[in-house]
Structure 1
């Protein structure tokens, strides 16, 4: 296996790890513990399933670290394709990590409020529940803000994939549309939250572009596309 093939499969493996870990706090924890419109029930669930919520918090931190590793491995893979584009992808992708760590503070504050530490005795239960839900609302809004970078970094990645000679054009296009979908989700969540669910349902199939890209480089590696090979032979 040549170096580029090896780098492609390492990047694909790291991408797979990110895709498996990231939804735990983003999707599973809210679905399991959060009750829409009922702060008391939500905070009760968090306190009653303390370890599960903490695992979600740790999952976000692990996601931040894996995301950083992913951008680096993809930079190594594509730096010979276009160094400037690869650096742009690296910078935009890097922003994911500090945002994840910053957002973890909201979950930490929620845990403290859910357990009602002694220094919170000046707040009654309803007030603590309200404050905890405020931090969870901030967590959600911070996720919406983070989706800007989740989308932006895919544009240089899509261009690099297209120019690389080993990723099919349709996968590069799918990555671009995936980036647009994240931007749509971000601005909907920040500006028109009442349409969140509608936009999320529309955006879902477009968000599979990252999975298609991950599977391609994980399975196929960096083997030149057949069209590119024929073109080179003809030349």
Structure 2
């Protein structure tokens, strides 16, 4: 007999771990090191805070590794709910992870270039900045999958009798917000900085509500 509450909490733990490592690798560390429009200062920050920079890369790798385990945990939790949506979720996650890992390699390349003795300083900074910029566009690309996977997850929440449907709708709203955020980034939309804060609400509401529900309640009463 399935222990739904146990399976839900295992999924919640993986989701929480992915969220924490993701925020560290994608938000906190870049915020401490990258200086917009100043590749020279950014390069200096990378060298001066190499440990922090490497920690950010590690956090990214842990985040994406846990993403795979989270997909497996959800597959077990929602077994029997919808074979189609479960397979789609697993497929989208599997597609996203290699892109994110390649993105991490670009950051390693940005660091190695700065420590290369055979290049002039301005060449090092230019190449390092190029790798960081490609990494930024890679993040915009993988955001498509980070958004799309929320659609099958939301549908599974809606279809499962032991889960609150409202969280499923929140997750689908988060899917749309992620896709719009990615589109604005790729198109370099001039209104991106204005719109992004408003997108954070649906982005955060769906995923945070799912995490807290899975960890605290697990499943509806009676299951």
Alignment partners' CA distance in 1, 2:7 and 2:189: 40
Spell out, residue by residue over 1:137-186, the C-alpha distance to the aligned partner (whole angstroms, 9 max, x if none). Answer: 01111000001001111111111100101222221111000000000011
Alignment partners' CA distance in 2, 1:53 and 1:47: 9
Contact 1:165 1:224 in 2 (8 A): no
Per the alignment, residue 203 of structure 1 pairs with 199
Q: How many residues align?
A: 222
Which among 216, 220, 225 is matched to residue 217 of structure 2?
A: 220
Contact 2:11 2:73 in 1 (8 A): yes
Which among 148, 154, 169 is matched to residue 152 of structure 1?
A: 148
Per the alignment, residue 168 of structure 2 pairs with 172
Which among 139, 142, 156 is matched to residue 138 of structure 2?
A: 142
Spell out, residue by residue over 1:165-211, the C-alpha distance to the aligned partner (whole angstroms, 9 max, x if none). Answer: 12222211110000000000111100134333223211001111111
Per the alignment, residue 233 of structure 1 pairs with none
List gaps (5 residues or longer) in structure 1.
Answer: 230-235
Alignment partners' CA distance in 1, 2:53 and 2:188: 28
Alignment partners' CA distance in 2, 1:80 and 1:2: 11
Is 88-97 or 52-61 further displaced after alignment?
A: 88-97
- Length-normalised TM-score, structure 2: 0.95
Contact 1:188 1:199 in 2 (8 A): no
Poorly superposed stretches of 4+, deviation over 4 Å:
none
Contact 2:140 2:186 in 1 (8 A): yes
Per the alignment, residue 96 of structure 2 pairs with 96
Contact 2:159 2:165 in 1 (8 A): no
Per the alignment, residue 124 of structure 1 pairs with 120
After TM superposition, give the deviation of residue 79 of structure 1 in Å.
2.0
CA 1:114–1:193 in structure 2 vs 1: closer, same or farther (change >3 Å)? farther
Alignment partners' CA distance in 2, 1:160 and 1:2: 17
Alignment partners' CA distance in 2, 1:219 and 1:165: 18
Alignment partners' CA distance in 2, 1:135 and 1:69: 29
- Superposed, 1:43-122 pairs within 5 Å as 43-115=43-115, 117-118=116-117, 121=118
Spell out, residue by residue over 1:18-69, the C-alpha distance to the aligned partner (whole angstroms, 9 max, x if none). Answer: 1111011211112101111111000000001011000111111111110000
Contact 1:96 1:149 in 2 (8 A): yes
Where 1:194 maps in the other structure, the secondary structure is coil
Alignment partners' CA distance in 2, 1:114 and 1:198: 34
CA 1:88–1:2 in structure 2 vs 1: closer, same or farther (change >3 Å)? closer
